[in-house]
Amino acid sequence: MRVVLGLAMGLMLAAGAWPQSADKKPLTPDQYRAMLDDRRYWWEQRKRYQQISQRALELLPGRRNTPLRELNISDGEVREVQAIAAGYLPRDLVNISPVVTACPCEEGPTCTAQVYVLATAKGKTSGLQLSRMNLAWQVGVVQKWWLRRAAIQRQNTGNAFRDEYLYEKAVNDLYEEFPACLGQLVPPAQIVSSTKSQEKK
């Protein structure tokens, strides 16, 4: 811990000597102390953050082929999935995975199924995981978390200490907000009956 704080202080002093851009005010000693307090807290939480990071990687959105839902995706669901995916992926969908059950508990107790959608544009393939909750497809809870994680970028404020702090804060704030498992999942029998009743409509 002392080594980390020592390095942080060194970075702080070095960063303070760096030129500030004209539109950026130099950090005050109180701001530096507040940032160091935050970094001290993050250091204390490092094991918890590592566990959250590991769980997030385990749930990294991707194609699953099991366990399959008894009834695969309907034409109406395909249209629903395509409409949602259009807001996140290129228009040219190349694949919608089979519908699978057994949602991770982080998706919440109303999640009954998931699909993974792939689309390609300019030679790059992108994917999106959708979860079926309350008989409607939507971007999954974990997928939303990963979208926010992918959007984090290092800033260039002209102060190396501030840039590193802002990046760490953005990542650690997301660890604090990682979805927790709450409530019981919908029983498998209810999943099947709900799906069948909707198919009849």
User: What is the pLDDT, as a whole number, of residue 105?
Assistant: 96
The count of other CB atoms within 10 Å of the CB of residue 22 is 6
- Please check the confidence at residue 194 and state whether its pLDDT lies above 50: no
Mean pLDDT score across all residues of the chain: 84
Which residues, in sequence order, are CB contacts of 169 under 8 Å at separation 6+?
A: 38
Per-residue pLDDT at 93: 76
In tens, the pLDDT along 17-75 reads: 333 333 467 889 999 999 999 999 999 999 999 999 999 999 999 999 999 999 999 99
Distance CA 27, CA 143 (A): 36
Q: So what's the pLDDT on residue 10?
A: 43
pLDDT digits (tens, 9 = 90+) for 79-100: 999 999 999 998 777 799 999 9
User: How many other CB atoms are found less than 10 A from the CB of residue 172?
Assistant: 18
Which pLDDT score is estimated for 92? 79
pLDDT digits 0-9 by tens, 142-177: 999 999 999 999 999 999 999 999 999 999 999 999
Rounded average pLDDT over 185-190: 51
Predicted model pTM: 0.77
Query: Would you state the torsion angle of the CA atoms of residues 104, 109, 113, 114, taken in this order, to the nearest 10 degrees?
Result: -50
- What pLDDT shows up at residue 90? 85
Task: Report the alpha-carbon distance of residue 80 to residue 37 in Å, rounded.
Answer: 47
Residue 91 confidence (pLDDT)? 76
